Homo-oligomer: A and B are copies of this chain.
Amino acid sequence: MTQVAIIYFSGYGHTVKQAEAVATGAAGVNDVTVTTIRIPDTGDISDADWDALAAADAIIYGSPTYMGGAAWQFKKFADQTSKHWLAGTFKDKVAGGFTNSATVNGDKGSTINYFFTLSQQLGQIWIGTGLLPSNQKEHGPEHVNWTGGFAGALAISPADASPEEAPRSGDLETARLLGERIAAYASRTRLAA
């Protein structure tokens, strides 16, 4: 079986929805098992979580964008991957990422770029959404990749929207498609490793 791990932080529950959509997409691929790890408020994950990451064929990173970057709890996790950097544990694993924030644009790209930078130090192979954007006048938040991310899946949750209201359907479908693409790629290339 191909193992896909999703590791993410969520402050208020909106990013949970996005992570679930990514997981749904990945789990729908044949011969794929998905492990989802929600980083706790302390930023520390368990030994079992680290083992799951070490065993994964693909790792998908997620966080809300807070003050222009991934939440500090995610960064605490990232700083702790340094031992895996030196040991090469994550090398050649597939990587991808997603982020959510209240503002339409609002530095989401900065968070995705950080995930990419981290993945490259760890020696991973990055795969984005591979989606064209929905960028015509008639398009809105109910359309796939209206928010318009290429390197990763982006979502908008307005500041006064509950996790039941946002991310909206287009962003969730974008997240699902990212999970599906990464899992399919990891599955297809694993046998070639």
Contact = CB atoms under 8 A, between A and B. Distances in A.
Nearest to A165: B137
Interface string A50-68: 0000000000000000111
B43 A67 contact: no
Interface size class of A (residues with CB under 8 A): 35 or more
A8 interface: no
Is chain A's binding surface mostly helix, strand, loop or mixed?
loop
Contact of A69 (B117, B128, B185): B117
B130 A127 contact: no
A19 interface: no
A82 B65 CA distance: 12
B66 A106 contact: no
Nearest to A92: B130
A151 B75 contact: no
B159 A135 contact: yes
A179 interface: no
B85 A79 contact: no
A105 interface: yes
Interface string A122-145: 010111111111011101000000
B103 A110 contact: no
24 contacts: A43-B72, A67-B81, A67-B85, A67-B118, A67-B121, A68-B118, A68-B121, A69-B69, A72-B76, A91-B130, A103-B135, A104-B104, A105-B105, A105-B148, A105-B154, A106-B133, A108-B109, A109-B110, A116-B151, A121-B150, A126-B127, A136-B159, A137-B158, A189-B189
Which 7 pairs from chain A and chain B are nearest by CB?
A103-B148, A68-B117, A109-B109, A120-B151, A72-B75, A72-B76, A123-B130
